[in-house]
Amino acid sequence: MTNLDIFNPISEELAMVEEQLFQSIDTELEILDKAATHLIKAGGKRLRPAFVLLTAKLFSDSIQHAIPLAVALELVHMASLVHDDVIDNSELRRGQPTVKSKWGNRVSLYTGNYVLAKSLCQVAGYQRSDILEVLANASMGICEGEIKQMQSCYNIHQGLKDYLRRIERKTALLIAVSCQLGAMISDSTDAEVMALKRYGYYLGMAFQVTDDILDFVASEEILGKPVGSDIRQGVITLPAIYALKYGTHREELGQMLSSPESCCNRAEEIIDLITETDGIDYAYYVSNIFAEKAIKQLEKLPDLSGKDSLLDIAGFISGREY
């Protein structure tokens, strides 16, 4: 099963989201138009829109009403990506030059702000303050996650809990909100909204743990950015935390991971020290636990048609191999 198969039930609506993403950029300022369009063109999995659409589809066959919300969720996500690239000084994302590398910091920063403000315009149409609040709160959570990530760099004393709290803000929150809002704008009960929010949360956790594994084991071609980007930036993810605690060479690894110089210059050695432990397997194990928890949340829902797609995604993410 591929990414595309999972999104089959909503392929038409995803195409509309794609079109409306481009239409949402509506400025006379050529450079802003180009930068924002580049950001959208650079693509991505459109996971957040997909979750909005799939959860809305649980409650009605027609999900036209969910499209502006799906666009809004992707715009919030894009704003965080373009801002990340400013701070991390990244040249490549998904194999494309970043907005930062093409147009510099000022354009990137304000493109992010523009796209963030645009996402809120998208939800204004729903005339629902509860939706706006959920989205704005998620944006604030993302900010907290980014700062937490910075604080944890090169910190070899962090544990599983620190890591989980960080990825919760960084990734799980926005996927949880995508599922929650998809249900909220549809004919669902409060209990269904809550179960879907939790489903999105656990799935987002599984997704980020898997993403962090890929930074060790995938190729640059698949990642669209250099392998070991996390290590090079001092971002200590689950396989590294495992290796720091249980690896044979944990002292040597600790010395290297706590120094920005060696993280940057000796990244390959560090990656070898981590991958020779059971850290990668452990991380897959943790990711699977989260995917299982996501599936459990779905069991709380009545027998809605469309539930299978959400089950498939949990299975796909937990077991995915590139």
Q: Which residues bind a second copy (CB under 8 A)?
A: 27-29, 31-32, 79, 83, 86-87, 105-107, 109-114, 116-118, 120-121, 123-127, 129-130, 132-133, 136-137, 139-140, 142-144, 146-148, 150-151
What are φ and ψ of residue 107, in 5° steps? Answer: -60, -40
Residue 180 or residue 309: which is nearer to a second copy going by CB?
180
Closest approach of a second copy to the CB of residue 23, in Å: 15
Closest CB 143 distance from a second copy, rounded Å? 4
- Is-contact 277 246, C-beta < 8 A? yes
Nearest CB to a second copy, comparing residues 170 and 197: 170
53: tokens are: 């659409």
- 253-257 CB contacts, 8 Å cutoff, 24+ apart: 254/156, 257/154, 257/156, 257/231
In the complex, least distance from residue 307 CB atom to a second copy, rounded to whole angstroms = 31
State the chain's maximal CA–CA distance in angstroms: 59
Going by C-alpha positions, the residue among 231, 240, 233, 216 that lies closest to residue 159 is 240
Q: Could you tell me the smallest distance in angstroms from the CB atom of residue 148 to a second copy?
A: 7
Closest approach of a second copy to the CB of residue 66, in Å:
17
Shortest reach from residue 189's CB to a second copy, in Å: 22
CA neighbours closer than 13 Å in the CB half-sphere of residue 34: 10
> Closer to a second copy at the Cβ: 15 or 124?
124
Cβ closest to a second copy, residue 49 vs residue 112: 112
Nearer to a second copy, 130 or 187 (CB): 130
Class of residue 39 by CB neighbours under 10 A (exposed 0-12, middle 13-18, buried 19+): buried
Q: How far is CA 67 from CA 71, 135, 174, 192, 235, in A?
A: 6, 15, 17, 20, 35
Residue type present at position 250: R
Question: With respect to a second copy, which residue has the nearer C-beta, 80 or 186?
Answer: 80
224: left (phi over 0), alpha (psi -120 to 50) or beta: left
When the beta carbons of 140 and 222 are compared against a second copy, the nearer one is 140
Smallest gap from Cβ 263 to a second copy, in A, equals 17
